[in-house]
């Protein structure tokens, strides 16, 4: 009885504060989505404790979606994020992969970033002035709507050439065969942080350990940008290291087999370091990567991800099979590399649900999802939330798209 009275008194007190308008925005968010959700916490208070109790489902299948901040207003407010989480959950999907790192900024507060001359949190979406922590919000929503939240470090080792990290640490930048430290990516002058450099490796290790000890997530993910264009790696530091380890001097051609193999091996060593660091800091966490199909990923981005799987460095591989032709899509799914990876990691297929200028017909999305199932892979992750739920191809409506998704996922499933 005493406990009940205390609870009643607390509710009356909170209601009074709401009436007076003196409850913090974070508390208002928590109250609005329900007492069973995880309340936002002080980001300096250490690792969060998961409060979500997973429902038991008879089937297992990854049904995820990458949450991009491009061509979307999802990051503008907690309300937009909650709307997406509710819709995904209602469609019997079970995972969100929200972007937490791109363009040299984090969408969560980071002391590691601040120590290295970058903003503690992105200046976009009012995050720095409103003191929001979107990562806490995503975890709150994951608990509320029974969704796995897998943070997506989208830009990997890339940063804008004019970013604070690049400006403060020019010695960290890789160079191409012409001596340039940047290239154009969709209109943005972009640089690679040189993962051959021990200081760059230490920065990423600290960033990842800080993240996984603060946020209780099932996995973290890097994508195809945790890599290096094969035309890069020609800075003095890397060429000197190559000469020291192989005895070969000069500038090899970008496609030279020994040069490709050496750079890919160094990237594998870097991935191993990150994998060990996060699993030591948070036992049980999974390391997810989302590369392009092999061997294209190796030849163009020095990513030998099949070796990462073979060596047990990664637990989940979401291969980006972005094809608008069913024959080419089937050809990629038939790869012996994918078949060999089964059983050694969770092998999931990234399906393109469209881009803003080029919506993917929902019937193509349906056909590719069903083909993934036919090949026995462990599910799909769609790129990205707006094209899956909002962008329409010729002759479609949003309702058409949602109906097809409901037909694909008529009942809930747990993640692998």
What per-residue confidence (pLDDT) applies to 302?
A: 98
CATH architecture of 45-408: Alpha-Beta Barrel (3.20)
Distance separating alpha carbons of residues 124 and 60, to the nearest angstrom: 37
Are 286 and 209 a contacting pair, CB within 8 Å?
no
Give the residue among 218, 212, 213, 211 at the shortest CA–CA distance from 107.
211
What per-residue confidence (pLDDT) applies to 51?
A: 54
Residue 303, phi then psi, degrees to nearest 5: -100, 105
Statement: residue 177 has pLDDT above 90 = yes
Distance separating alpha carbons of residues 121 and 105, to the nearest angstrom: 7
User: For the chain, what percent of residues have pLDDT higher than 90?
Assistant: 84
Q: 55 pLDDT band (50/70/90 cuts)?
A: low
Instruction: Give the burial class of 225: count Cβ atoms within 10 A of its Cβ; 0-12 exposed, 13-18 middle, 19 or more buried.
Output: buried
Statement: residue 164 has pLDDT above 90 = yes
Residue with tokens 């193509």: 364
Distance separating alpha carbons of residues 66 and 76, to the nearest angstrom: 17
Q: 180 pLDDT band (50/70/90 cuts)?
A: very high
- DSSP letter at 190 equals E
Distance separating alpha carbons of residues 146 and 140, to the nearest angstrom: 10
Distance separating alpha carbons of residues 298 and 260, to the nearest angstrom: 8
Residue 15, phi then psi, degrees to nearest 5: -60, -40
Statement: residue 46 has pLDDT above 90 = no
What per-residue confidence (pLDDT) applies to 6?
A: 40
Statement: residue 14 has pLDDT above 50 = no
What per-residue confidence (pLDDT) applies to 56?
A: 72
Statement: residue 190 has pLDDT above 80 = yes
The helix/strand/coil state of 71 is coil
Chain centroid, CA 235 distance in Å: 29
pLDDT tens per residue, range 267-315: 999 999 999 999 999 999 999 999 999 999 999 999 999 999 999 999 9
Q: 368 pLDDT band (50/70/90 cuts)?
A: very high
Q: 129 pLDDT band (50/70/90 cuts)?
A: confident
Q: Please state the rounded mean pLDDT for residues 311-332.
A: 98
Residue 143, phi then psi, degrees to nearest 5: -65, -45
Q: 130 pLDDT band (50/70/90 cuts)?
A: confident
Q: Please state the rounded mean pLDDT for residues 9-21.
A: 41
What per-residue confidence (pLDDT) applies to 53?
A: 55
Statement: residue 9 has pLDDT above 90 = no
Q: Please state the rounded mean pLDDT for residues 110-119.
A: 97
pTM, two decimal places? 0.88
What per-residue confidence (pLDDT) applies to 33?
A: 32
Are 148 and 216 a contacting pair, CB within 8 Å?
no
What per-residue confidence (pLDDT) applies to 17?
A: 41
Are 47 and 142 a contacting pair, CB within 8 Å?
no
Q: Where are the domains of the chain?
A: 1-35, 45-408
Q: Please state the rounded mean pLDDT for residues 214-237.
A: 98
User: For the chain, what percent of residues have pLDDT higher than 70?
Assistant: 87
Q: Please state the rounded mean pLDDT for residues 89-114.
A: 98
């Amino acid at each position: 009885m005493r406990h009940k009275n205390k609870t009643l008194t607390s509710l009356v007190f909170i209601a009074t504060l709401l009436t007076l308008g003196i409850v913090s925005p974070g508390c208002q968010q928590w109250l609005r989505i329900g007492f069973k959700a995880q309340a936002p916490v002080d980001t300096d208070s250490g690792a969060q404790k998961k409060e979500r109790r997973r429902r038991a489902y008879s089937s297992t299948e990854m049904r995820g979606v990458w949450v991009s901040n491009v061509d979307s207003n999802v990051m503008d407010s907690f309300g937009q994020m909650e709307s997406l989480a509710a819709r995904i959950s209602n469609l019997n999907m079970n995972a969100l992969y929200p972007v937490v790192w791109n363009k040299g900024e984090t969408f969560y507060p980071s002391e590691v970033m601040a120590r290295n001359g970058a903003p503690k949190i992105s200046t976009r979406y009012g995050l720095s002035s409103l003191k929001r922590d979107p990562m806490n919000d995503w975890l709150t929503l994951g608990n509320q709507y029974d969704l796995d939240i897998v943070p997506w470090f989208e830009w990997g080792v890339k940063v804008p050439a004019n970013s604070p990290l690049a400006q403060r640490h020019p010695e960290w930048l890789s160079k191409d065969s012409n001596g340039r430290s940047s290239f154009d990516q969709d209109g943005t002058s972009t640089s690679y942080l040189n993962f051959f450099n021990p200081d760059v490796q230490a920065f990423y290790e600290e960033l990842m350990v800080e993240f996984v000890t603060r946020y209780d997530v099932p996995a973290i993910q890097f994508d195809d940008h945790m890599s290096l264009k094969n035309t890069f790696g020609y800075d003095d530091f890397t060429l000197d290291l190559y000469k020291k380890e192989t005895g070969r001097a000069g500038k090899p051609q970008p496609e030279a087999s020994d040069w490709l193999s050496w750079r890919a091996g160094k990237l594998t060593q870097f991935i191993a370091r990150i994998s060990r660091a996060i699993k030591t800091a948070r036992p049980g966490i999974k390391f997810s990567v989302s590369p392009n199909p092999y061997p294209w990923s190796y030849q163009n981005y020095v990513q030998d991800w099949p070796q990462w799987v073979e060596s047990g460095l990664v637990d989940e591989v979401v291969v980006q099979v972005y094809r608008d032709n069913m024959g080419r899509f089937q050809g990629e799914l038939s790869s012996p590399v994918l078949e060999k990876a089964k059983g050694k990691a969770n092998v999931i297929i990234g399906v393109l649900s469209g881009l803003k200028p080029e919506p993917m017909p929902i019937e193509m999305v349906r056909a590719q999802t069903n083909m993934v199932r036919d090949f026995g892979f462990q599910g799909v992750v769609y790129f990205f939330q707006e094209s899956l739920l909002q962008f329409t191809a010729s002759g479609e409506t949003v309702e058409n798209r949602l109906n097809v998704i409901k037909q694909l996922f008529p009942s809930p499933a747990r993640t692998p």
